[in-house]
Structure formats: structure tokens, C-alpha cells
């Protein structure tokens, strides 16, 4: 059974989910794991890293898992557990490939986050790992100044920042300008039927121009057809992710796959 003190000695709270009867039951840590979806350079077709995606035997839909954690006021516990387990899993990867991990802004500004970060460093889970934290657009950034301070600390640990699902929810252009993420991940909306939409192509072009000027890198999510991939390549989108390029799977399944 998972107790949070296994990840961090400063807390002894259990992590709970709700079953179909509405009864809260402890989550089994062994039922939580990650699938890894490859991210490719679209120019030379080489794999540059993976996004770690939380999976659970208790929830078929990871989004519902996090929604339940929010209801139980345990988002920080689940979010940090996900990061911890993904880092431990990815530590077995001997390549220099990047690891992208989702994290909520509220987790980063949580009063216990710095202690959690120190715990990761103490266990050498940040050593020689090329890590990027993806901030979800789903959660509103309420204290931009505090988040900016925490991101500076993360960068001191060698952790990069990405904005995830850009264009999916509210427009947070101000956040992009103020926080200056190393990566901007365009939502799958832009890749779907990209070859049929001149407006989507024009918008991506504008984003690329901004990113080239200020040294951000664009990752186009949700690439599922050859036609859309070809248009993305013609626009010089540097990085891509999607079912056409590779589906999420266990990291061990990549053991015998050559890079590129």
C-alpha cells in the first residue's frame, strides 16, 4: 500500500481514490506505472526523448485519476508520486535522451515542493537526467511571480520547462512571455487535418517565428497521418509526437529499438 512517506519522509498521509460506491480506498503503489511516448526530431527523424504518461490499474482514464485526487485534496501527493516513479523508471535508460514529465503549476508552488525536489536530488534521481517539466494549460496560474521563482530554482537543478497543450484551453500568451519555457507543445488540435487547413499552417508559422527569435522549441503533438507530418516538416517544425511516430508503451519495450 502506498504511503507518501515512502517518497518523502516529511509526510505520512495515505493517497486515496474513490471506488464506484463512493468509498475512499488507499491506492496501491504497485498499480501506478508509466508508459513512455517517443518524441522525434522531424528533420532527421531521430528520437530525442519521451513523454512519461501516468497509468493506473485503478483508473482506465488518467485524467479521472487526477480529478479524483483534486476532489480528495491530494493532487500534490499524486503529482509528486508520478514524478518520483517516472524518474526511478527512466533512470534505467542509459541513453542521453530527454524525459518530459507532466506537472501541475500548483504542485511547483506548493509549500512542500522544494523539500520534495531536494529529496529527488538526495536520491540522485536528477543526476545525469535530461528532464523537462511540462506545465499543463488546464490549471490556471494564480501566482505568476511565485511560479517564476520556483522555475528559476528548477533550472538551477538542470530541469527545463515546457508548456503543454498550448491552444487547448485559455490563451496564456502572457505566461509564455514571462516564464519563457524552453519548449512549447502545440495541442493536437493543430496537427489534426493540418494538411487541409491554411489557417492552422499560418498560425504554426507565426509561433515558429517567435520561437526562433527567442530560442524556444516547438513540439507538435498528435501527429497521426503522413500528410500532416509532411506539412509539419515543410513548415520546419523541429519536434513532433503522435501515434504515427510512436504510441505510448512501457520503457522496456524500447530496449531493442535503435534510436532513429
Which is more confident, 237 or 11?
237
List the one residue out of 138, 162, 135 whose CA is nearest residue 218.
162
State the pTM of this model: 0.88
Please tell me the distance from the alpha carbon of residue 91 to that of residue 124, in angstroms, as a whole number. 10
Q: Map grid coordinates 514524478 to a residue.
A: 83
Give me the domains of the chain, ranges plus CATH numbers.
29-254 (3.20.20.450)
In DSSP terms, which residues pair with 15 in a beta bridge? none
Asked whether the predicted pLDDT for residue 259 surpasses 80, the reply is no
Kindly report, residue by residue over 129-174, the tens digit of the pLDDT: 799 999 987 777 778 999 999 999 999 999 999 999 998 866 578 8
Q: What is the pLDDT of residues 109-127, one digit of tens each?
A: 999 999 999 999 999 999 7
Residue written as cell 497521418? Answer: 225
Distance between CA atoms of residues 54 and 86, nearest Å: 8
As a whole-number percent, the residues of the chain with pLDDT over 90 amount to: 67
pLDDT digits (tens, 9 = 90+) for 84-97: 999 999 987 777 89
Q: Is 6 strand, coil or helix?
A: helix
Residue with cell 534505467: 92
Residue 40 CA: distances (Å) to CA of 29, 55, 152, 163 = 31, 22, 27, 17
Amino acid at each position: 500500500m502506498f504511503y507518501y512517506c515512502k517518497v518523502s519522509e516529511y509526510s505520512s498521509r495515505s493517497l486515496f481514490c474513490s471506488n464506484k460506491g463512493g468509498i475512499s480506498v488507499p491506492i496501491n503503489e504497485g498499480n501506478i506505472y508509466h508508459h513512455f511516448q517517443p518524441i522525434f526530431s522531424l528533420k532527421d527523424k531521430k528520437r530525442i526523448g519521451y513523454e512519461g504518461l501516468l497509468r493506473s490499474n485503478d483508473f482506465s482514464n488518467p485524467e479521472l485519476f487526477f480529478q479524483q485526487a483534486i476532489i480528495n485534496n491530494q493532487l500534490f501527493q499524486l503529482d509528486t508520486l508520478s514524478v518520483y516513479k517516472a524518474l526511478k523508471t527512466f533512470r534505467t535508460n542509459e541513453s542521453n535522451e530527454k524525459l518530459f514529465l507532466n506537472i501541475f503549476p500548483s504542485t511547483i508552488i506548493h509549500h512542500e515542493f522544494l523539500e520534495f525536489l531536494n529529496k529527488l536530488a538526495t536520491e540522485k534521481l536528477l543526476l545525469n537526467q535530461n528532464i523537462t517539466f511540462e506545465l499543463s494549460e488546464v490549471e490556471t496560474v494564480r501566482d505568476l511571480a511565485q511560479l517564476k521563482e520556483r522555475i528559476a530554482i528548477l533550472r538551477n537543478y538542470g530541469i527545463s520547462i515546457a508548456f503543454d497543450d498550448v491552444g487547448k484551453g485559455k490563451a496564456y500568451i502572457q505566461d509564455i512571455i514571462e516564464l519563457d519555457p524552453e519548449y512549447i507543445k502545440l495541442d493536437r488540435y493543430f496537427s489534426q487535418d493540418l494538411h487541409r487547413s491554411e489557417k492552422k499552417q499560418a498560425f504554426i508559422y507565426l509561433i515558429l517565428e517567435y520561437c526562433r527569435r527567442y530560442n524556444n522549441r516547438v513540439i507538435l503533438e498528435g501527429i497521426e497521418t503522413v500528410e500532416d507530418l509532411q506539412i509539419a516538416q515543410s513548415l520546419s517544425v523541429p519536434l513532433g509526437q503522435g501515434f504515427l511516430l510512436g504510441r505510448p508503451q512501457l520503457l522496456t519495450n524500447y530496449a531493442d529499438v535503435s534510436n532513429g
